[in-house]
Amino acid sequence: MKSVVITGSTRGIGYGLADSFLALGCVVTVSGRSSTSVQKTVTQLSSTYQPDSLFGHPCDVTRFEQVQGLWDKAYNHFGKVDIWVNNAGIGHPQLEFRTESSEEIRAVVETNILGTMYGARVALRGMLEQGFGSLYNMEGLGSDGRKVRGLTLYGSTKSCIRYLTDALAEEVLGTGVIVGALSPGMVVTDLLIGRYESGSQDWEGAKRIFNILADRVETVTPWLAQKVMTNNKNGMRIKWMTRGKVAGRFLAASFRKRDLFEGLE
């Protein structure tokens, strides 16, 4: 029975991962910034899974002492941490970088970069001490070097995460601990669609692309969780949307109509 900790797991991909790992028989520690959201998540998941397979603890990943507290609480509750997923992250409206406020820049950088670094530091120290464990960082737009106008800030943070993951994988060689990355592709969450105004011209254009390339949380996260559970290779990048799959989606788009947003708008 694996013990899994997921930051930012009260909604979106993080929640989907928690649900998927529980379905695979793991025990899971869920976390979010507020006690209310964490308790709500634990209650929701407990309606499907055994309550003793779940533990919740609030954590602001931009506060190192809270990240350390998340490890300590999860470790004390379940006796070990086999898998730690640095999932917490935030996006921003699609804007030219020069128009971003200093507050927005700080918030995105602190959550996406500092939060991931704090999680990695805490998890690796704990895993090296217990002698085993797997750390996974969540990649996103920018991790593969692609640039999208208006997403310079977010993409820069994910580019940093790519380097961090690869460098940490080198650091843990021969230790019994592995480091990897999760690349979920486009997933229909607030992070993806929250920057658009429903009904706007930009949204209608983006929606056409999303209906070709994106997927819902419940499609992607079970696959990611299964791959994490079976992986024992250090430096592995678990990638949902491959180049071949992208090409296939575009080829099929003319006769395969998808509406991922039915009931969501």
Range picked from 133-147, 195-209, 221-235 for highest mean pLDDT? 221-235
User: Residue 211: what pLDDT?
Assistant: 73
Q: Which has more pLDDT, 212 or 29?
A: 29
Q: Of 71, 103, 104, which Cα lies nearest the Cα of 86? A: 71
> Among 126-130, 185-189, 224-228, which is the least confidently predicted range?
185-189
Among 49, 136, 154, 163, the one annotated catalytic:
154
Q: How confident is residue 228, by pLDDT bands cut at 50, 70 and 90?
A: very high
Q: Report pTM.
A: 0.90
Q: How confident is residue 260, by pLDDT bands cut at 50, 70 and 90?
A: low
pLDDT at 214 over 90: no
- Averaged confidence pLDDT in the chain: 91
Q: Of 165, 194, 190, 151, which Cα lies nearest the Cα of 10? A: 190
Phi then psi for residue 116, to 5 deg, are -70, -40
Q: Residue with structure tokens 């380097």? A: 163
Residues 118/120/125/128 CA torsion (nearest 10 deg):
180
The CATH class, in words, for 3-189+216-242 is: alpha beta
pLDDT at 142 over 90: no
User: Residue 196: what pLDDT?
Assistant: 60
Crossing angle between the packed helical segments 201-213 and 243-252, to the nearest 10 degrees: 110
Q: Are 172 and 124 in contact (CB under 8 A)?
A: yes
Q: Which has more pLDDT, 200 or 242?
A: 242
Q: What does the pLDDT look like over 16-49, one tens digit per residue? A: 999 999 999 999 999 999 999 999 999 999 999 9
Q: Any catalytic annotation for residue 136?
A: no
Provide the token pair at 168.
Answer: 């940490």
Q: Are 138 and 161 in contact (CB under 8 A)?
A: yes
Mean pLDDT confidence for 236-265 = 77
DSSP 215: B
How far CA 157 is from CA of 24, 64, 83, 142, 211, in Å, comes to 31, 18, 23, 8, 26
pLDDT at 262 over 60: yes
Percentage of residues in the chain with pLDDT exceeding 90?
A: 71
49/42 Cα distance (integer angstroms)? 10
Domain boundaries, given as residue ranges, for the chain:
3-189+216-242
User: Residue 191: what pLDDT?
Assistant: 65
User: Residue 137: what pLDDT?
Assistant: 98
Residues 106/138/16/28 CA torsion (nearest 10 deg):
-100
User: Residue 139: what pLDDT?
Assistant: 95
pLDDT at 187 over 60: yes
Q: How confident is residue 201, by pLDDT bands cut at 50, 70 and 90?
A: low
Q: How confident is residue 130, by pLDDT bands cut at 50, 70 and 90?
A: very high
